[in-house]
Amino acid sequence: MDSKTKIISVGGSIIIPKTGFNIPFLKKFKKLILDEVKKGNKFILVIGGGSVCRQYQDAIKKVTPLNNTDLDWLGIHTTVFNAQFVKFMFKDHVYGEVISDPTKKVKTNKPIIIASGWKPGCSTDKDAVLLAKTYNASEVINLSNIEYAYDKDPSKYKNAVKIESIDWSGFRKIVGNKWNPGANAPFDPIASREAQKLGLSVAILRGTDLKQVKNVLAGKKFKGTVIS
């Protein structure tokens, strides 16, 4: 594995938040990634469905009852569309197709590869973990809409405690072992199980805080959670 290659799981809500596109942020995010490319770094960006995915899933459930597999497929299609948007953002710097199968290694001289969701039963977090396995990486960077992972949902519990560092056994006790389509866990339970098996380190941080994103890419101390 080329240590210059960074695998990043980008939450869909970072790209398309509920409030709509944040064009100034997208321009800064694009510049940050391309500045890193100029330093010789390469990226695999796995794009999630975010709030767009959940809006589709919530709407369809009110019209037609679907099983979890169908709901997952609907979510996967939203990741593909979001990923196409990001591919066009980086235009000439990206591999020509959005990849879906994280178990197949791509040969390209382009510095950026964009990936979408793949199969039902998990989120794009697991796809990022599988890409780490395929490319022999030791770390996944998870850009989320939260600053830290917590021991419980901070929007529901005032006594929720932020987590700066935790091992996989402790983290999996928090997120459990079951996947629900559209779930909003800091790192999905199925991805967590696979990451523990592989001995991966996962960094979780707020993706819109580009100073912290720069820090984690540089291997510096950052504001966020490390699971290892």
Q: What value does the mean pLDDT take over residues 24-43?
A: 96
Q: Which fold has domain 5-227?
A: Carbamate kinase (3.40.1160)
- What contacts 224, CB < 8 A, 6 or more positions away? 147, 148, 164, 203, 204, 205, 206, 212, 216
Above 50 in pLDDT, residue 1? no
- Max Cα separation, the chain? 50
Q: What value does the mean pLDDT take over residues 41-49?
A: 96
pLDDT at 155: 83
- Alpha carbon of 74 to those of 87, 119, 131, 140: distances in Å? 20, 11, 22, 25
The C-alpha atoms of residue 147 and residue 143 are separated, in whole angstroms, by: 9
Count CB-CB contacts under 10 A for residue 35.
12
45: left (phi over 0), alpha (psi -120 to 50) or beta: beta
Lowest mean pLDDT among 133-137, 139-143, 185-189, 202-206: 185-189
Tokens read off for 183: 């779930």
The C-alpha atoms of residue 41 and residue 196 are separated, in whole angstroms, by: 26
pLDDT, tens digit, 9 for 90 and up, residues 76-125: 999 999 999 999 999 999 999 999 999 999 999 999 999 999 999 888 99
- Rounded to the nearest integer, the mean pLDDT of the chain is 93
- Alpha carbon of 118 to those of 126, 140, 210: distances in Å? 9, 17, 28
Residue 115 buriedness (CB in 10 A; 0-12 / 13-18 / 19+)? buried
Q: What value does the mean pLDDT take over residues 210-227?
A: 97
* H helix runs in 64-117, sequence order: 68-90
Tokens read off for 12: 């869909």
User: What residue segments make up the domains of the chain, in order of their start?
Assistant: 5-227
Phi, psi of 9 (to 5 degrees): -90, 110
